[in-house]
Chain A
Amino acid sequence: MKFSLGPLQYCWDKAAVEDFYREVAVSPIPLVYLGETVCSKRRKLRWQDYFDLADMLRSAGKEVVFSTLALIQSDAEIQELRKQLTNSSVTLEVNDMGALALAVEQQLPFVCGPGINNYNLTSLQKMANWGMQRFVMPVDLSQKWLAPIITSQPSFEIEVLGYGYLPLAHSARCFTARHHGLNKDNCDTICSRYPKGLLTQTMEHQELLRINGVQTQSAACCDLRSEIQQMRTMGVDWFRVSPDSINSIGLVTALIKGEESDDVPSIRCNGYWHDAPGMRYL
Chain B
Amino acid sequence: MELLCPAGNMASLKAAINAGADAVYLGVKDNTNARSFAGLNFTPDTLKQAAKLLQHAGKKMYLAINTFAQTGLEQRWYDAIDAAADYGADALIMADISLLDYATNKHPQMPLHLSVQASVSNATALNFYQQQFNIRRAVLPRVLSMRQIRDISQQTNVELEVFAYGSLCIMAEGRCQLSSYVTGESPNRGGSCSPAKHVRWQECQGNRQTRLNNILVDSTGVNETIGYPVICKGRYLAEDDEQPEFILESPTSLSTLELLPELARSGVNSLKIEGRQRSPAYVTQVTRVWRQAVDRYQASPEKFQTEAQWHEVLRKVSEGQATTAGAYDRSWQ
Contacts and interface: CB of A to CB of B under 8 A. Distances in A.
Decide whether A and B are members of one complex: yes
A97 interface: yes
Contact of B219 (A119, A139, A203): A203
Contact of A117 (B95, B123, B248, B327): B95
Interface residues of B, number: 73
B54 interface: no
A183 B239 CA distance: 20
A101 B127 contact: yes
Nearest to B69: A120
Interface stretch (A44-52, A204-212, A232-240, A260-268): A204-212
A279 B120 contact: no
A123 B176 contact: no
Of the listed residues B97, B184, B239, the one surrounded by the most CB atoms of chain A closer than 10 A to its CB is B97
Nearest to B101: A126
Contacts of B331: 183, 185
Interface string B204-228: 0000000001011111000000000
Nearest to A152: B71
A127 interface: yes
Q: Chain A at the B interface: mostly helix, strand, loop or mixed? A: mixed
Contacts of A202: 215-217, 234, 236-237
B172 A169 contact: yes
Contact of B148 (A73, A139, A140, A170): A73
B133 to A, nearest CB: 10
Interface in B129-187: 129, 142-145, 148, 151, 155, 170-172, 174-178, 180-184, 186
Of the listed residues A77, A171, A211, the one surrounded by the most CB atoms of chain B closer than 10 A to its CB is A171
Interface in A111-136: 115, 117-123, 126-127
Contacts of A203: 216, 218-219, 235-237, 244
Interface stretch (A12-20, A55-63, A193-201, A242-250): A193-201
Given A183-B332, A184-B333, 15 more contacts: A75-B122, A101-B127, A117-B95, A119-B69, A120-B69, A126-B97, A127-B97, A171-B170, A171-B327, A198-B240, A202-B215, A206-B215, A216-B171, A277-B180, A278-B182
Interface of B: 68-72, 74, 95-98, 101-102, 117-125, 127-129, 142-145, 148, 151, 155, 170-172, 174-178, 180-184, 186, 188-189, 213, 215-219, 231-232, 234-241, 244-245, 247-249, 327, 330-333
